Structure 1
Amino acid sequence: MKTTQYASEIINELNRTIELLAEDQAEKLVDQILASKKIFVAGAGRSGFMAKSFAMRMMHMGVEAYVVGETITPGLEKDDLLIIGSGSGETKSLVSMAEKAKSLDASVAVVTISPESTIGRLSDVAIKVPAKPKAGTDNEYNTIQPMGSLFEQSLLLFYDAVILRLMDQRKSESGAMFGKHANLE
Structure 2
Amino acid sequence: MNTAYYLKEVIRELENTTQAISEEVSEQLVDAILAANKVFVAGAGRSGLMGKSFVMRMMHMGIDAYVVGETVTPNLQEGDLLIVGTGSGETKTLVPIVKKAKNLGGEVAAVTLSPESAIGKLSDLTVVLPGTPKDKEAGQYETIQPMGSLFEQTSLLFYDAVILRFMEKKELDSKQMYGKHANLE
With normalisation by structure 2, the TM-score equals: 0.97
After TM superposition, which residue ranges in structure 1, 4 or more long, deviate above 4 angstroms?
none
Equivalent position of 1:179 in the other structure: 179
Unaligned 5+ runs, structure 1: none
Report the 3-state secondary structure (helix = DSSP H, G, I; strand = E; otherwise coil) of the residue aligned with 1:7.
helix
> Cα RMSD (Å) of the superposition?
1.3
Q: 1: distance between equivalents of 2:136 and 2:68? A: 30
Q: 2: distance between equivalents of 1:12 and 1:161? A: 18
Equivalent position of 1:44 in the other structure: 44
Report the 3-state secondary structure (helix = DSSP H, G, I; strand = E; otherwise coil) of the residue aligned with 2:164.
helix
- CA deviation digits over 1:38-81, x for unaligned, max 9? 00001000000000000000000000000000000000000100
Report the 3-state secondary structure (helix = DSSP H, G, I; strand = E; otherwise coil) of the residue aligned with 1:147.
coil
Deviation at 1:131, TM superposition (A): 1.8
Equivalent position of 1:19 in the other structure: 19
In structure 2, give the amino acid aligned to 1:105. G
Report the 3-state secondary structure (helix = DSSP H, G, I; strand = E; otherwise coil) of the residue aligned with 2:94.
helix
Q: 2: distance between equivalents of 1:60 and 1:92? A: 31
Equivalent position of 1:161 in the other structure: 161
Equivalent position of 1:102 in the other structure: 102
Q: 2: distance between equivalents of 1:130 and 1:179? A: 35
Report the 3-state secondary structure (helix = DSSP H, G, I; strand = E; otherwise coil) of the residue aligned with 2:40.
strand
- CA deviation digits over 1:2-30, x for unaligned, max 9? 10110000000000000010111101100
Deviation at 1:138, TM superposition (A): 2.5
Deviation at 1:146, TM superposition (A): 0.4
Contact 1:84 1:111 in 2 (8 A): yes
Q: How many residues align?
A: 184
Q: 2: distance between equivalents of 1:85 and 1:100? A: 16
Matches within 5 A, 1:84-95: 84-95=84-95
Identity across the alignment (%):
60
In structure 2, give the amino acid aligned to 1:20. A
Contact 1:60 1:181 in 2 (8 A): yes
Deviation at 1:159, TM superposition (A): 0.2
Unaligned 5+ runs, structure 2: none
Deviation at 1:137, TM superposition (A): 8.5
Q: 1: distance between equivalents of 2:151 and 2:111? A: 10
Contact 1:132 1:138 in 2 (8 A): no
With normalisation by structure 1, the TM-score equals: 0.97
Deviation at 1:116, TM superposition (A): 1.1
